[in-house]
Amino acid sequence: MKKPITPSKKKPIDILKIEELYEVELKQEKQDVILNDDGRKSVRNFFTTNENNEITGLSFNNLTETSKDLSLIKKLDKLIFLALTRNNIEDISLMFPLPNLKYLYLGGNKIKDISALTNSFLLEELAIWNNPISTVVPLKSLINLKKLHLQDTGTNNLIELYV
């Protein structure tokens, strides 16, 4: 039987090498949770065992049934860092708004529509690589966005951000 994962009071383990890949430093402000293909099939399993709304960093990666449980993430309104890579996510609208979110990593999913990000005004870094996105127009309102990772997406018209 697997031991339940509890949030660490120390700096989170950077299993995905997020710091290295995206040149950010994961800082421990309150709590960070990183779960990567640890036998859980969905985000729901995490929320039934951990009712902590003080979490500021969360990483769920390589999970098979994440999409239907995204609405639970919306409850974590103190999130600053969120990584949901390679989870077959199609619709991100269920998890927004996240008013304090600064770093969002959604690479390797099946996201077509990013309009849910329109009011994510604090967002500084967004990684949406390898998603079938057709337009980046919803990102025009993100005035604090400093880094945007769009490799292997369906969009090739970045002029939309400047018009």
> pLDDT per residue over 47-69, tens digit each?
554 555 677 888 887 776 655 67
Residue with tokens 């995490």: 46
Round to whole Å and give the CA distance between 29 and 21.
21
Q: In this structure, is residue 2 part of a structural domain?
A: no
Domain that holds residue 28: 18-161
In a domain, 4, yes or no: no
Domain contains 88 = yes
Q: What is the pLDDT of residue 129?
A: 94
Pick from 50-64, 66-80, 83-97, 143-157: least confident: 50-64
User: First vs last Cα of the chain: how many Å apart?
Assistant: 55
Q: Yes or no: say if 83 and 61 are a contact pair by the CB < 8 Å rule.
A: yes
Domain count, the chain: 1
120 near 98, Cβ under 8 Å?
yes
Is 67 within the bounds of a domain? Answer: yes
Q: How far apart are CA 14 and CA 96, in angstroms?
A: 25
> CA dist 102 to 29, 39, 97, Å?
13, 28, 12
Q: What is the pLDDT of residue 22?
A: 47
Q: Which pLDDT score is estimated for 31?
A: 46
Residue 103 lies inside a defined structural domain of this protein = yes
Answer whether residue 132 is part of any domain. Answer: yes
The domain that holds 37 is classified in CATH as 3.80.10.10
Are 114 and 93 in contact, with CB atoms under 8 Å apart?
no
The residues facing 58 across adjacent strands are: 33, 82
Would 28 be classed as within a structural domain?
Answer: yes
- Going by pLDDT thresholds of 50, 70 and 90, the confidence category of residue 46 is low
Decide: helix, strand or coil at residue 85: coil
Per the domain annotation, does 1 fall within a domain? no
